[in-house]
């Protein structure tokens, strides 16, 4: 049995109770990497614990894959994929484009998902058939837009500095062709795409929990999300999402490794 909207929203409520009071609060930050900067806060850890507690109580046989705590029951046909704060750099900088990501998979396929931005009061939710927005603008069904071609597209990526080696040249080729490009909004970009505000998101080095909740939000809004070579995106890696198949195909052709 699939979880319902009310349960997803209960999970989001529990996470928000841990993240929102800590946002713009001057909280302490721990760096998870010796050779770089991969921040984690007590908000990340507490929010994931709160989400896991509710899942364990309601669905004790389901698996859980999360960023901050140990993965459990990974062989289950039903798997929750959690990123309690996607965009921790934005979170610690006071920029409200981070989000809590809660995804649900059946037999390896992402079928339901939620992204909440607690500060703006917005939720993007995929119920298994349709993609929805709720927030200050009310509630409505998400639908991607078709900008026609790559030269008319608005492109987002978290940071161009994440691309390495041959990826840099390929990404820049796409970036040079689009109408407008913007950086730095993490999971929020994918939701803007699902809602029809932008046309293309290109990323690399994503983890499964970075994208698991976002896949159904985009697909059930009519969009396309794959790896750069056209494969399923559940495992993360190099990801491309688009509002139309034509723009997706045009960008993917330019991203091919030469």
Structure confidence by residue, pLDDT tens digits, 196-215: 999 999 999 999 999 999 99
Pairing verdict, β 200-206 and 138-141: unpaired
Structure confidence by residue, pLDDT tens digits, 19-46: 999 999 877 666 555 555 456 778 888 9
Structure confidence by residue, pLDDT tens digits, 53-78: 999 999 999 999 998 888 999 999 99
Instruction: Kindly state whether residues 121 and 173 are assigned to the same domain.
Output: no
pTM given for the model: 0.94
Please report the pLDDT score of residue 42 as a whole number. Answer: 83
Instruction: Kindly state whether residues 74 and 164 are assigned to the same domain.
Output: no
Instruction: Kindly state whether residues 24 and 114 are assigned to the same domain.
Output: yes
Instruction: Kindly state whether residues 68 and 156 are assigned to the same domain.
Output: no
Instruction: Kindly state whether residues 93 and 202 are assigned to the same domain.
Output: no
Instruction: Kindly state whether residues 132 and 157 are assigned to the same domain.
Output: no
Taking the C-alpha atoms of residue 83 and residue 47, their distance in angstroms, rounded to an integer, is 9
Which domain does 121 fall in, by range?
Answer: 5-141
Contact 88, 41 (CB under 8 A): yes
Structure confidence by residue, pLDDT tens digits, 78-126: 999 999 999 988 998 899 999 999 999 999 999 999 999 999 999 999 9
pLDDT of residue 148 exceeding 90, the answer is yes
The answer to whether the annotation marks 51 as part of a ligand binding site is no
Choose the final residue of a domain: 112, 141, 170.
141
Please report the pLDDT score of residue 62 as a whole number. Answer: 97
Instruction: Kindly state whether residues 16 and 85 are assigned to the same domain.
Output: yes
Taking the C-alpha atoms of residue 195 and residue 217, their distance in angstroms, rounded to an integer, is 9
Indicate the number of domains in the chain.
Answer: 2
pLDDT of residue 51 exceeding 90, the answer is yes
The answer to whether the annotation marks 44 as part of a ligand binding site is no
The answer to whether the annotation marks 85 as part of a ligand binding site is yes
Indicate which CATH number applies to the domain containing 167: 3.40.190.80
Instruction: Kindly state whether residues 100 and 203 are assigned to the same domain.
Output: no
Instruction: Kindly state whether residues 111 and 158 are assigned to the same domain.
Output: no
Instruction: Kindly state whether residues 96 and 212 are assigned to the same domain.
Output: no
Instruction: Kindly state whether residues 128 and 26 are assigned to the same domain.
Output: yes
pLDDT of residue 138 exceeding 60, the answer is yes
The answer to whether the annotation marks 217 as part of a ligand binding site is no
Helix (H) or strand (E) holding 56: helix 42-58
The answer to whether the annotation marks 67 as part of a ligand binding site is yes
């Amino acid at each position: 049995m699939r979880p319902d909207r009310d349960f997803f929203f209960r999970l989001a409520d529990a996470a928000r109770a841990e993240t929102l009071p800590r946002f713009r609060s001057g909280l302490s930050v721990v760096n998870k990497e010796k050779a770089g900067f991969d921040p984690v806060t007590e908000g990340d850890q507490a929010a994931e614990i709160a989400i896991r507690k509710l899942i364990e109580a309601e669905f004790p046989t389901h698996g859980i894959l999360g960023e901050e705590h140990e993965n459990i029951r990974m062989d289950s046909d039903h798997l929750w994929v959690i990123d309690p704060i996607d965009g921790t750099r934005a979170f610690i900088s006071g920029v409200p484009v981070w989000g809590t990501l809660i995804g649900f998979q059946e037999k390896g396929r992402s079928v339901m998902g939620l992204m909440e931005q607690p500060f703006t009061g917005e939720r993007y939710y995929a119920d298994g058939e349709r993609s929805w927005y709720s927030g200050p603008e009310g509630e409505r069904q998400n639908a991607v837009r078709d900008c026609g071609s790559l030269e008319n597209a608005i492109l987002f990526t978290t940071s161009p500095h994440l691309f390495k080696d041959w990826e840099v040249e390929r990404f820049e080729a796409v970036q040079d062709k689009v109408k407008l490009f913007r950086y730095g909004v993490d999971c929020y970009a994918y939701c803007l795409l699902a809602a029809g505000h932008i046309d293309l998101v290109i990323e690399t080095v994503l983890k499964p929990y970075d994208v698991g909740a976002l896949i159904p939000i985009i697909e059930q809004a009519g969009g396309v999300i794959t790896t750069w070579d056209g494969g399923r995106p559940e495992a993360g890696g190099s990801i491309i999402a688009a509002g139309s198949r034509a723009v997706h195909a045009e960008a993917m052709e330019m991203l091919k490794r030469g």
